Amino acid sequence: MRRLNKKKALTLVKELDAFPKVPDSYVEATASGGTVSVLAFSVMAVLAFLEFFVYRNTWVSYEYEVDKDFSSKLKINVDITVAMRCQYIGADVLDLAETMVSSDGLTYEPVNFEPSPQQRIWHMTLQHIQERLRVEHSLQDVFFKSAIKGDLPPLPVQSEERSSSLNACRIHGHLYVNKVAGNFHITVGKSIPHPRGHAHLAALVSHDAYNFSHRIDHLSFGEALPGIISPLDGTEKIAPDSNHMFQYFITIVPTKLNTYKVSADTHQYSVTERERVINHAAGSHGVSGIFMKYDISSLMVKVTEQHMPLWQFLVRLCGIIGGIFSTTGMLHGMVGFLVDVICCRFQMGIYRNLKADKNGRENNETLVHTDGYTQQ
């Protein structure tokens, strides 16, 4: 009984076979079929190789959501060189709540305004990258994935004898401010606290010493991460007049970066620039200096590096193999059908001519026999 049940089960399974086997004696190998098979396997190998490179590649996706973190502090990373002596200028931050942030985290270092050859090359390279980023926005995705570091080359060591001849001041370091709109500025005189805000001791500095030509080596907000090149990095401005105001209007966007090399929270920003000469007689009022007014966006950007899943790669690979097999099989069948039709037509024409000749001969023989019978 068990054997009979097994035989019935095997018979039922065989009847459900969707891939019936053809005996080898019924299969005929042809040269055309072999040629098509070689071409099909070659195309499949090339496409599978290219598909593997697509599987290895990654892309960057962007998502937007409301930033709900307003209680944390915002870190400002600064590295600016101003063409004035350190004792003549001061830098600080005043936010929208009239809160002055101490500049204890900043270091004032006397330097020469003219950069070294290595620094000049670095600045030229950075400016070229900035130009390409303005035209090709997808280049930023490459920086995100590669986590390129854009650190400034080290400054040359200054001797004590030459320190007196240094004509510029490098202000670098970081500040922690409230996560509200504010104004980071560098102007004449050191800042002092004031009941109504703050003030700078500018009266002790002669107007002839004013020169707010500056070079921004780095300015970023949040954690400084590799792969992010800030819009103001590498900026260099030359003041044509001693009483000159440079203004940068910055919009900060909180960013969550999650790639295969970096995973952290930081901030990106966009900026617009404006500069003008201070001339009270002409109605152009203001204070000479460098002013960076920043505001924080309420939206947060999530930057994520994504990868094609394995199952999708396998499905695409199966589609390539099956599609090429089906396409080449249909093409081979159509070509063979057309060849058979054309050849059969020629053969049918020959056959018809031969048949017509044979019928004519038979008719002649019949007539001859009939005439002979009549004569008898």
pLDDT along the chain (376 residues), means of 10: 65 69 65 78 89 86 86 89 89 79 82 86 84 77 66 51 72 90 87 69 76 91 80 89 90 88 85 86 81 92 87 90 84 78 62 55 52 45
Radius of gyration of the chain (CA): 42
Answer yes or no: do 35 and 133 share one domain. no
Phi and psi dihedrals of 91, rounded to 5?
-125, 140
23 found inside a domain:
no
Distance CA 92, CA 198 (A): 10
Distance CA 354, CA 251 (A): 93
Answer yes or no: do 87 and 212 share one domain. yes
19 found inside a domain:
no
Answer yes or no: do 72 and 44 share one domain. no
Reduced to 3 states, what is the DSSP secondary structure of residue 348?
Answer: helix
Answer yes or no: do 315 and 203 share one domain. no
Q: Based on the structure, what is the number of domains in the chain?
A: 2
Show Cβ contacts of residue 81 under 8 Å, excluding neighbours closer than 6 positions.
111, 113, 168, 169, 170, 171, 214, 215, 217
Q: Can you give the pLDDT at residue 285?
A: 79
Minimal CA–CA distance to 332: which of 44, 36, 27? 36
Answer yes or no: do 318 and 262 share one domain. no
Answer yes or no: do 76 and 54 share one domain. no
Q: Can you give the pLDDT at residue 347?
A: 55
Q: Can you give the pLDDT at residue 373?
A: 44
- Start-to-end Cα distance in the chain: 84
Residue that finishes a domain, picked among 241, 275, 297: 297
- Residue 40: give the domain boundaries: 30-59+308-328
C-alpha dihedral sign at 19, 24, 27, 32? positive
Answer yes or no: do 37 and 142 share one domain. no
349 found inside a domain:
no
360 found inside a domain:
no
Q: Can you give the pLDDT at residue 241?
A: 84
Burial 253-265 (b: 16+ CB within 10 A, else e): bbbbbbbeebeee
234 found inside a domain:
yes
Residue that finishes a domain, picked among 297, 316, 336: 297
User: How many other β-carbons are positioned within 10 Å of the β-carbon of residue 300?
Assistant: 18
pTM: 0.70
Answer yes or no: do 54 and 125 share one domain. no
Contact 218, 119 (CB under 8 A): no
358 found inside a domain:
no
User: Which residue in this structure is represented by tokens 């080290």?
Assistant: 154
Q: How many CA within 13 A on the CB side of residue 327? A: 11
Distance CA 225, CA 140 (A): 13
Contact 76, 174 (CB under 8 A): yes
Measured at the alpha carbon of residue 108, what is the angle toward residues 124 and 161, in degrees to the nearest 5?
85
143 found inside a domain:
yes
